[in-house]
Structure formats: C-alpha cells, structure tokens
Amino acid sequence: MKRRRHDFDLAQLLPVVVATTFAAVLTLLLTLGIQRASQLQSASSALQLASELRSLPQYFGTELTLVQRGLESRTFIGEPLADIAAAREGFDKALERIDTDLIGAGLGGTVEIQRVRGALDAAWARFSPLLVAVDSHKGTPYSDTLSGSRLNSTGRALKSDVDAALAAQDESMRDVGGALKDLATGLQDAVGDRGGSLRSFLMIGAAVSGLLLALMLYFALRSRRAADDARRAERQVADILGTVREGLFLLDRNLSLGHVYSASLTRILHTEQVRDTSFEDLLRPLVPAKTLATAMKFVNLLWKEKVHEDLIDTVNPLNQIEVQFAKSGGGTDSRHLSFAFKRVKNAGGQGEHLLGIVTDVTDRVQISRELEQSKAENQAQLDLVMQLLQVPGAQLQSFVRDSDMALRKCNAILKQPGREESELRSKLNGVFREVHTIKGEAGAMALTAIASRVHQLEESLVALRDRARIDGNDFIPIVVKLDELMSYLGGVGQFADRLSEVQPKGDTMKSVVPPLLANQMLAADTPSLEQVLAKVVKETASAHGKRVALQCRGLEAIPAPYRKAARDITIHMARNAVVHGIETPDNRASASKSETAAVRVSFDDAGAEGYVLTVEDDGQGLPYERILDAALRKGLVSPADAARMERPAVYGLIFRAGFSTAETVTEHAGRGVGLDAVSQTVRDLGGSIGIATSDGKFTRFRMKLPQAVSQAGAAHVA
C-alpha cells in the first residue's frame, strides 16, 4: 500500500522537479547569454571606436599642416585650429567611452587589453599636450604692417608649437596608431570569443528546451496512461462492488462508512441510508441495545494494536444475528446476517480502515436448523421406540385407546356450542384436563417422548389460558395441534398393534427385542395400579431429589368400573404429594422427621356408604397462606373474599381450574390442572373429596365414591 502511494507521489512530483530544474537551467543560460550579448555589444562598440580613432592621427597631421601653411601664407587659421581642438577632445571622449565599453565587455581586468590600453594612453599622453599647445592659442597670429603681414609674437609661438607638434607627429601618431591597432585586434578577439560563447549558450539553451519539451510530452503521455489505468481500475472496482454478493464496506477511525461499498450492502441491510452513516446508526434498527453496545466494543477492539484479529473471531457478537425487516406488504421478514471485520493496514502496519463484510446466512442457518431438528426427531423416534418396547403391549394398547378417546373427547368439547368468553374458557379447561391426563398416563408408563410431546400442546393451552381475552379463532391452532397429536398417537397405536402381533408368539419376541425387555413385556400384560404408582412415585421423587416410600392397600379390590378413574386420580395425587407435599430430606431432617417420607394410597369398601379412596402423605401439609396468595394473584378470589375465607374454603381453592402454587412448571406437576381434573372426575362419578391437613405433619385426601357408578362417570370410564 505504501509502495503504491510512494510511486504515486513520485509520478506526481517527477515532472514538477524536472520542469523546475530545466527552467532554472534555461534561466541561467539566458542570463549568461544576455550577459554575453551585452559584453559583445560593448566590445563591438569599443572596437568600432578604436577603428574610428585609427584615422585620427592622419587627420591631426593634415590639420597641423594646414595650420603651418596658413601661418606661412598668413591666411586665416581659426578653422583648422578649432578642428584640431574638436578632434582632440573627441579622442579623449572616445578613450573614455572605450574604457566604459571595456568594463562593459568584461575586459576591464584583462592583462593584455590593459597593457595595450596603457600603451595607447602613454602614446596619446605624449602627443596630446602638443596638440593642446597648438589649439589653445587665442588671438591673431599676424600683425599687419605697410610692408605686409608679419607674424607677431603669438604667431611665432604658434608656429613654433605647430612645428614641434608636426615634428613629433610622425612618431607619436605611429605609437597611437600602433596601440589602437593592437587594441582593435584584442577587441576583435574578445568579440569573437563573446560571440562564440553566446552561440554556445544559445545552442545549449535550444537543446535544453528541446529536451524539456520531449520530457513534458513523455510525462503527459505517462500521466494520461496513469489516468487511463486509474479509470480502468475504478471501473473494475465498481464492477466487483456491483457484482459481489456480500455486503462490503469500509469503516474509518470514527466507525463511519465511506463512499465505497458493494451494491449488495443496501440489499442485505434493506436500507439506502448507507453512505457516510455511522456503523452504530446502521446497526441500531437491527439489533437489541445490549448487542449493539457489545458490537461497538468489539469493533473498537480491532483498532487496538495489541489485539490479534484472528484470535477474536469467536467473540464477534455479530457473527450470526437474527434481524427482522419490515415487509412491503406488512409483517416482518426474519433474516440471519453474519458480520465479519478485517483490518486494512498500510505497509507501515498502520490500520487505516476496517473492512466490513456482511453476508445473509439465512439459508445456511435454516439448513443447519432443519438438520438439527431432523436429528432431534430421529432421536425422539428412537427414544420413543425404545420406550415403547419397554411397555407391555396390552398396556400400550390400552394407553393408545384411552388417549384416542381423550382426544376425541377434546374434539367433542370444542364442537360444543357456545362462543361466550366464559363458555370458551370452560371448553379450554375441559381440553386441558384431558390433555393433562394423557400426559400423566404417558409419564406413568415412562413414555417421556410422548409425555414431552403432549407437554408442548399443554404449553399452548396454558399460553391461551393466560391471555386476558380469548375468542373462537384462538382455538384454530389448538385444533391443528390436537389433530397432529392424534395422528402421532395413531402412529404409536400402529406400532403397538404390530408389537402385539409379535408378543403373543412368546419365544419369537426374543428375536426382535432384547431378552430383558421381552421378559418385562411377558411378565405382566397390565401392571397393577400399585406397580404404576410405585414407578410414578419413584421417578417423581428422584427428579425432585426426595426420598419417598409408597404404601398401598386394597387397590386390587377396586371395582372394574372405577379402575380407570382411580388410576387417573391416584397417579395425579401421588405425584402432587411427592412434588408439593413432601419436603426435601434436609428439611425433613431439620424438622426431626424421617428423611424417607411416606405416601399412602388405600381403597376401602365402606359398605352402604360406598367406597373411600385415600391418598395421604406425611409431608409439610397444605400451605394455607401460599394457597391464598396464589389464589389472589390469579384472581380466583377477591381480596375482600380472601379476608373472610375460612381455612376449609381456602383449601377448596386448590381444586379450582388454573390454580397452582408451584413456582416452575415441569412435566411432573405445577400446571394447576391435576387437582381440578381429579375433582372433576370425582364429581363426574357422583363422589366427593374431603381434605384433612396439619402444618408440617400430613395432608390427606379422601374421595368418597358411590356404590353405583353414575352415568357421567360411565362416560369417563369408557
């Protein structure tokens, strides 16, 4: 990442660096060129001056001669004298200009030129005063007499100076001319030299410009290619982000989403509000507040250098979340999403972004759930078969028959007329009692697979019963579930039939079931009530950590019409006694009671008064206050009634539908249906129930049954 960025910086900087360098070189070259040109100009000017001055010595000779002749012929000599003065001053000025030009041409310090220039000055210095002497003469040189014009003293002095100048002229002018020639030669060299170097600079400048142009063209091409690459890469990234099925996004340090994310993200999250949104805002509508807080903490962990990202995958709270999306047509759609996060680091190891990946894993989750469910179903079926094999065939058939009957009764109850709330509740309680009875039977035969299935139906009934208001439509799912249960139990019935086909053949049983089971099956077709109760008490006690001894008396003498009812009643009451009545061994010990409790079930023939079925335990007695509290809580009695109620009336509450003091609902007890079912059965049989209890000592239920079975009871027994 860093390498790429580095390249990018260089590619951007290189043309600038090159252009700047070249521009500096060009500026330098131009400056030098201008300097050379200016020097060249000065040198040329000096050369021109020097060349012009070379004609002056001859000019001075001519003018001096004119003055000499004029003096001889006594003619006017003012003009040549003025010309000499002007030429001499011109020479002086020209020398000054040459000096200026020499400095301008950079030759001020050149030894050769200085020498030549010195020679010129020396020669001129020798000759110039002679000229000054001549041209400084003022006044008329002649005196006019009658004998003609004669040189006066001025004229004589002038003539002498002119003669002297002319005498020195040849030599001096040769010196001056020679020095000028040397100077001109030196200057010519300098001009050639300056011109040459100017040409060189210009040529180098032209070359540098050409090179710069070429480089600029190269950079322009390269940058265009880079731009093309960038555009292509951008298109490819867009293609990837538009095609990929996962929701991809980047989070910055503030945990905000950037502008780059895959198209699937909005589809998976069902929102268009993604760009520049904080991750927290994105999640908020999807997960509970607690998960949101944990998720934000988790994501922040990824910024911690010390935390190894591979080693925190398992604590990702967003690894699999179930979210609800509102459907366009109303209702919600439940989806499973999986979020994963990866650090995006540069070459320096600095985390710049987090890459977020969100996937819709609903299908995967459903498949795995279905797998688990089918595994559980297989296991349940296996359990069921194993449990069925342990129940004697005839007993199993009897259970299936009874259950079928109970379910038919449920259907009959549900078909009864009546749509008032109270009527519906009464129907619900009726169905409840039947279902609860089936569960109890199944539990008594240790058919836990069936019992737990019936338990589920019971749960639905409880949920319905606990609702503030119910109407007829609420029963539809119950009817469906009853049908399901019926067909399930039908399957159990078929199995029981097949089992019974095998069972009577005696020895052949051993070939299909383990010998132990076969023996058990053959031992007793239908176990006695005492055996069933023993099993119920034993299992319930062990499930609740209690120690109980069951004592039975006279149960074998129960007349046939009462056997089924007595069975239902005693199973319920014995189980209730163990769960609610009996204390734990610790509590019994601290109350100085035997750790093993007693549950007694007896059946007596009271002659003309009928029969008496008694279920008694030596447990803690009926908890008067808890019963009253529970009844108040459930609205079975009003606070005003509660204050007035006598103890027996309070105890009577436990037979009311929907009453239960158990804190938790288990398969064993605590539905608050057992005793009301018992009470209903006893009433159906035309009997009555009496309660005797003493705190910390015992509870006894005595059910009086008439000698002759009543009509209603007959239906129950059938």
Shortest CB 674 distance to other proteins, Å: 36
Query: Is residue 328 close enough to count as binding other proteins by CB under 8 A?
Result: no
State the nearest-atom distance from the C-beta of 205 to other proteins, in Å: 60
Torsion angles phi and psi, residue 454, rounded to 5: -70, -35
Give the shortest CB-293-to-other proteins separation in angstroms.
8
CB closer to other proteins, 166 vs 301: 301
292 or 565, CB closer to other proteins? 292
Q: How far apart (Å, rounded) are the C-alpha atoms in residues 360 and 325?
A: 13
CB of 294 to other proteins, least distance (A): 5
Which residue number, 142 or 298, has a Cβ lying nearer to other proteins? Answer: 298
Task: Encode 217-232: b = buried (16+ Cβ within 10 Å), e = exposed.
Answer: eebeeeeeeeeeeeee
As a whole number of Å, the end-to-end CA separation of the chain is 85
Distance, CA of 336 to CA of 361 (rounded, Å): 5
- Binding map of other proteins across residues 265-304, x = CB under 8 A, - = no contact: -------------------------x---x--xx--x--x
Contact range with other proteins by CB under 8 A, out of 307-315, 490-498, 602-610, 613-621: 307-315
- Residue 679: CB partners within 8 Å, gap ≥ 6? 655, 689
- DSSP-based helix, strand, coil % in the chain, nearest 5: 65, 10, 20
CB of 710 to other proteins, least distance (A): 57
Q: Partners of 690 in the beta sheet?
A: 702
With b for 16 or more beta-carbon neighbours within 10 A and e for fewer, the 672-700 pattern comes to: bbbbbbbbbbbebbbbebeeebeeeebbb
Answer for which of 141, 247, 317, 356 binds other proteins (CB under 8 A) is 317
CA atoms within 13 A on the CB side of 493: 14
Minimum CB distance to other proteins, residue 287 (Å): 13
Report the residue number, 28 or 301, with the smaller CB distance to other proteins: 301
Of 341 and 698, CB closest to other proteins: 341
Residue placing its CB nearer to other proteins in the complex, 111 or 311: 311
Q: Is 697 left (phi over 0), alpha (psi -120 to 50) or beta?
A: alpha
Of 311, 608, 640, 708, the one binding other proteins (CB under 8 A) is: 311
Q: What is the closest distance, in whole angstroms, from the C-beta atom of residue 664 to other proteins in the complex?
A: 22
Cβ closest to other proteins, residue 314 vs residue 592: 314
22 contacts other proteins (rule: CB under 8 A): no
Q: According to the binding rule CB under 8 A, does residue 314 interact with other proteins?
A: yes
The mark string for 552-591 relative to other proteins (x by CB under 8 A, - otherwise) is ----------------------------------------
Query: What token pair was written down for 589?
Result: 């010990």
Burial 339-358 (b: 16+ CB within 10 A, else e): bebebeeeeeeeeebbebbb
> Binding of other proteins at residue 308 (CB under 8 A)?
yes
Q: How far is the CB of 321 from other proteins (least distance, A)?
A: 12
Which of 51/294 has CB closer to other proteins?
Answer: 294
Residue with tokens 């100077």: 183
> Side-chain half-sphere of 295: how many Cα atoms within 13 Å?
24
Considering the rule CB under 8 A, would residue 316 count as an interface residue with other proteins? yes
Cβ 515 to other proteins shortest distance, Å:
39
> Which residues are registered as beta bridge partners of 256?
278
Residue among 197 and 291 whose Cβ is closer to other proteins: 291
Stretch that binds other proteins, among 8-16, 118-126, 306-314, 505-513 (CB under 8 A): 306-314
Give me the least distance between CB of 292 and other proteins, in Å please: 12
Please say which residue, 204 or 340, places its beta carbon nearer to other proteins: 340
CB of 307 to other proteins, least distance (A): 6
* Residue 296: CB minimum distance to other proteins, A: 10
Binding letters toward other proteins, positions 231-270, x by CB under 8 A: ----------------------------------------
Q: Residue 14 corresponds to which amino acid? A: L
Cα separation, 231 vs 696, in Å, equals 89
The stretch among 23-31, 183-191, 311-319, 395-403 that binds other proteins (CB under 8 A) is 311-319
DSSP string, 196-223: HHHHHHHHHHHHHHHHHHHHHHHHHHHH
405 CB-contact burial (10 Å; exposed 0-12 / middle 13-18 / buried 19+): middle
Q: Is 180 exposed, middle or buried (0-12, 13-18, 19+ CB in 10 A)?
A: buried
d(CA 688, CA 668): 25
Whole-Å CA distances, 615 to 33, 176, 269, 593, 600: 130, 162, 62, 20, 6
**In the complex, what is the shortest distance from the CB of residue 333 to other proteins, in angstroms, rounded to a whole number?**
26
For other proteins, the closer of residues 311 and 608 by Cβ is: 311
Nearer Cβ to other proteins (298/624): 298
Among 207, 217, 307, 512, binds other proteins (CB under 8 A): 307
The DSSP code sequence of 11-32 is HHHHHHHHHHHHHHHHHHHHHH
Nearer to other proteins, 111 or 289 (CB): 289
Stretch that binds other proteins, among 8-16, 215-223, 308-316, 509-517 (CB under 8 A): 308-316
Nearer CB in complex with other proteins: 315/557: 315
CA distances from 463 to 335, 406, 469, 474, 492 (A): 26, 21, 11, 11, 27
The residue ranges that bind other proteins (CB under 8 A) are 290, 294, 297-298, 301, 304, 306-308, 310-312, 314-317
